[in-house]
A = this chain, B = another copy of it.
């Protein structure tokens, strides 16, 4: 009987693209059952972060921006990429919150770790929760960022979740976990 749940064996590997925003690797793999997949595509990315940021007054710091994949504007948590110069995912998340929203300080903890897609993506997303954040400055956006900041009430966040308006799974998961753990439903 074939063995289940074993790692695949990679017999060759090549990069089809190797750019900052698109790194695609093609692996020729053999499964434990002996079957070959001659072209299995892997997307390599750096680690990602996002944060549920809640102000001293109990408002949730959301951003609203256009997303070209689904060609829709939507409410999102602040999120970003871990840069090489960031000492840790926490530093990345704090940097992104300050840059994108102008909010900072408060009490931070890593809340959950998710994969955008364990079958195709190499990276993980570190989801933080930051309480008692406060407005420290204006936004400091990059030229290619076009987003607005919105302070939402818990009821507004719950309405967005229940209406499937928070579509990004990496954001819906920690928000639903927060609702579940704090018995807010």
> Which residues does A use to contact B, with CB under 8 Å?
2, 4-8, 16-17, 19, 21-22, 24, 27, 29, 31-33, 35, 37, 39-43, 64-74, 112-122, 124-125, 143-144, 146-148, 161, 164, 167-170, 172-173, 176-177, 179-181, 183-185
Given A7-B71, A116-B117, 7 other A-B contacts at CB below 8 A?
A2-B146, A4-B146, A5-B73, A7-B66, A40-B68, A176-B177, A180-B180
Task: Determine the distance from Cα of A169 to Cα of B177 in the docked complex, in whole angstroms.
Answer: 12
Tell me which of B8, B42, B43, B146 contacts A66 (CB under 8 A). B8
Complex: how many Å from CA A91 to CA B93? 40
Residues of B within 8 A of A29 (CB): 68
Q: Are B144 and A31 in contact (CB under 8 A)?
A: yes
Closest B residue, CB atoms, query A16: B17
Determine if A70 and B118 form an interchain contact, defined as CB atoms under 8 angstroms apart.
Answer: yes
